[in-house]
Amino acid sequence: MSAPLLEVHPGPEMAAAAARSLVGIMLRAVRLRGTAHLALSGGSTPRALFRLLATEEWQARAPWAHCHIWWADERCVAPDHHESNYGAAYSLLLSHLPVQHVHRMRGEVEDPGAAARSYEAELRHVFNLGPMGRPRFDLILLGIGADGHTASLFPGTPALDERRALVTTGWAPVAPHRRLTLTLPVLNRAAEVIFLVSGTDKGPALAQVFATHPAHPPLPAALVRPTRGRVRWLLDAPPP
């Protein structure tokens, strides 16, 4: 388990640094295994990255036709709802690319538990996993909330303690409350996790994540420590 890396890339440089990393990781995975698996997050911070990757200059740099696009979490809304993580990624990025393998979480399904189970089944099928297997993503893009949540793993919620399921339901203190999320065991099986962080309101949570003696219980984002992988924190301003 390597120590988290923290990098500061002011303003638009953060999206460019993330884009370079994403393209490098995707190219390497496709070269080695013929495919790459990338999981996206929602929220506002990844949008600059999505817009950049959709530009003519960047479109052809990544082997999108060989990439499987997944989500780290989703809000339980329809894909065309303004709060949909899929909807944002589709309009800003995927609709501009030759992607062929898009695996969205079905936030519109009435029973979130059923949606979580069907996404888990899709993961097990595409990654060709046995009953106890866990998918190893080449890259998972995450964010952090001011409360230290990541994906839709919120402090003090049952989703944070889930250790068997690959996907579970989450509950957010802000609307849309009902969520779907990858679980910690899946996040901690990734080859690479990149946190994209913007906004000074994340300062106190970041201070806790990087504290020598973090408060107990640790914040959800602090629990993302891949056992055979790397975590990088890309910030657009120095931490407090």
Stretch that binds ligand 6PG, among 3-11, 100-108, 144-152, 158-166 (CB under 6 A): 144-152
Decide whether 21 or 198 has the Cβ nearer to ligand 6PG.
198
Q: Is 45 in the site for ligand 6PG (CB under 6 A)?
A: yes
* Distance, C-alpha 162 to centroid of its chain: 17
CB of 134 to ligand 6PG, least distance (A): 20
Q: Is 220 in the site for ligand 6PG (CB under 6 A)?
A: no
Strand duo 139-142 + 101-102: pairing: unpaired
Binding residue (CB under 6 A) for ligand 6PG from 18, 76, 84, 85: 85
The interface with ligand 6PG within residues 51-70 (CB under 6 A) comprises none
Strand duo 67-71 + 101-102: pairing: parallel
- End-to-end Cα spacing for the chain: 25
Q: What single letter denotes the amino acid at residue 55? A: T
> For 18, phi and psi rounded to 5 degrees?
-65, -40
154, HSE (Cβ side, Cα atoms, 13 Å)? 13
CB of 137 to ligand 6PG, least distance (A): 15
8 A C-beta contact, residue 151 and residue 41 = yes
Q: What single letter denotes the amino acid at residue 45? A: T
Binding residue (CB under 6 A) for ligand 6PG from 1, 2, 32, 44: 44
CA 235 – CA 6 distance, rounded (Å) = 8
Binding residue (CB under 6 A) for ligand 6PG from 8, 9, 23, 43: 43
Binding mask 167-206 for ligand 6PG (x = CB under 6 A): --------------------------------x-------
Residues that bind ligand 6PG (CB under 6 A): 41-45, 73, 75, 85, 143-145, 149-152, 199
